[in-house]
Structure 1
Amino acid sequence: MTQPILQLSGARLALDGNAGRVEILHGIDLSVEKGETLGLIGPSGSGKSSLLMLMGGLERATAGRIEALGQDLTTMSEDALARFRSKHMGVVFQSFHLLPTMTALENVATPLELAGATDAFDRARAELDAVGLAHRADHYPAQMSGGEQQRVALARASAPRPQILLADEPTGNLDGTNGQAIIELLFSLRDRHGATLIMVTHAPELAAQCSRVIRLRDGHLDTQSQTPPQTTPQTQTQTQTEAAQ
């Protein structure tokens, strides 16, 4: 039996606010298999984004255990987590998070350089080309539309060829046309790098393309509303290959 690419066991998250300590996630048990496309849905405030942040080591679990690629994220230092993400994970946010003083090419290449890649700019150019922005490589974020900025963010996330791709409402700040284009690019980048894709979304059309969908309610997994995997990762890959022929 293969080990899940992500495994959460009794994962809890509590944050301190002005009104005191708030319990965000309550004892989450979840396994994600390699090659899955998992959609996280639920009402605002249900804990979707917080769960995604735990999976990426961007938030510290208050209790429980989180393993990614067989590594226990809950015991890693902040530096170790940053190194792990740079090698194995790509993260796409709703609000792009591009550096305004860097060009599109520099935004994509900089994380690769920090990870020690000697071909950082060549890989960055290739990723910008893959999202249709080779001609905008020397432009700054302020010179690009929202859809173009999200394409740069996708290129940056996929450039390290991550095994796990996390996306938090990747179409949330875009209109329908740009949102659909980002959806298509997100899935094509997943296929190109063979990544496991986990995303938070409110978009029914995006959730419908996932092999499994999980709903959260008040920080709990709603086990009654889970959609089981439609195919195994191997079958999914075979289907994609046949469709491309």
Structure 2
Amino acid sequence: MTPVLSLRDVTLSLDGNAGRIEILHGISLDVQSGESLGLIGPSGSGKSSLLMLMGGLEQATTGSVTALGQELTTMNEDQLARFRRDSMGIVFQSFHLIPTMTALENVATPLELAGHRDAFDRAMEELQAVGLEARADHYPSQMSGGEQQRVALARAAAPRPKILLADEPTGNLDGANGAAIIDLLFGLRDRHGSTLVLVTHSRELAERCDRVVRLRDGRVDQAAAGAAA
């Protein structure tokens, strides 16, 4: 079976004020269709950087990153943007909603960019799926953090992506809202048949995943691979 995501000997280095910083070291990893994979590890271990490589939001310094059979490391920025638009949904810890747009407009935006004529109908369906149809005309500033993250989830799921990436989706939420977001995230994954990769410090969220990979110092911790946080 061909993996949905495949990384081979990936490294990532970035230039900082103190010189070259080595963030990821020789990561090789496959994610299968429909799988949910949790990336865990201490702060600074490279979890979010690895997720950004999977989404084409960072370019690997060396090695290859393949998603849905497409080599991301050979694409330019425009090609990567189109690929994400058509095939990926990404949820960030800090929501990244457009403040001048309503919840409905935020969710409809990626669908409009992709040329879907039923963008607003589909956007409303996704808001209904996360229990926010009554907030469709509200702006982000009029919603709680939990509600904003629900809108962000609806926006990521609206294009029905084959790959869903989430970076600490419960990190800015209290326990009750975090638990609700976990349920919604896996519900959206199941509804659209997406492959889910998420970064988390939450044991509860990690335990919901089919498989867990622990990172330590920019490497896969082989001794802990497959164990929960």
Specify the TM-score bucket, using the shorter chain as the normaliser: over 0.9
| Aligned residue number for residue 130 of structure 2 | 131
SS of match in other structure, 2:34: coil
Q: 1:83-124 CA distances to partner (integer Å, 9 max, x unpaired)?
A: 000111000000000000000000000111011111111100
| Aligned residue number for residue 175 of structure 1 | 174
SS of match in other structure, 2:223: helix
Q: TM-score, normalised by structure 2?
A: 0.98
RMSD: 0.7
Q: C-alpha separation between the residues in 2 aligned to 1:164 and 1:111?
A: 15
| Aligned residue number for residue 88 of structure 1 | 87
Letter in 2 for 1:147: G
- The answer for unaligned runs of 5 or more in structure 1 is 229-245
| Aligned residue number for residue 59 of structure 1 | 58
SS of match in other structure, 1:57: coil
Q: C-alpha separation between the residues in 2 aligned to 1:135 and 1:58?
A: 33
| Aligned residue number for residue 193 of structure 1 | 192
Q: 1:51-86 CA distances to partner (integer Å, 9 max, x unpaired)?
A: 000000000111100000000000001000000001
- Cα offset, 1:154, TM superposition: 0.1
Q: TM-score, normalised by structure 1?
A: 0.92
Q: 1:165-190 CA distances to partner (integer Å, 9 max, x unpaired)?
A: 00000000000000000000000000
Q: How does 1:139-150 map to 2 (within 5 A)?
A: 139-150=138-149
Letter in 2 for 1:10: D
| Aligned residue number for residue 157 of structure 2 | 158
Q: C-alpha separation between the residues in 2 aligned to 1:55 and 1:155?
A: 21
Letter in 1 for 2:52: M
Where do 4+ consecutive residues of structure 1 move more than 6 Å?
none
Q: How does 1:23-34 map to 2 (within 5 A)?
A: 23-34=22-33
Q: How does 1:36-51 map to 2 (within 5 A)?
A: 36-51=35-50
| Aligned residue number for residue 22 of structure 1 | 21
| Aligned residue number for residue 117 of structure 1 | 116
- The answer for unaligned runs of 5 or more in structure 2 is none
Q: C-alpha separation between the residues in 1 aligned to 2:58 and 2:114?
A: 21
**How many residue pairs align between the two structures?**
227
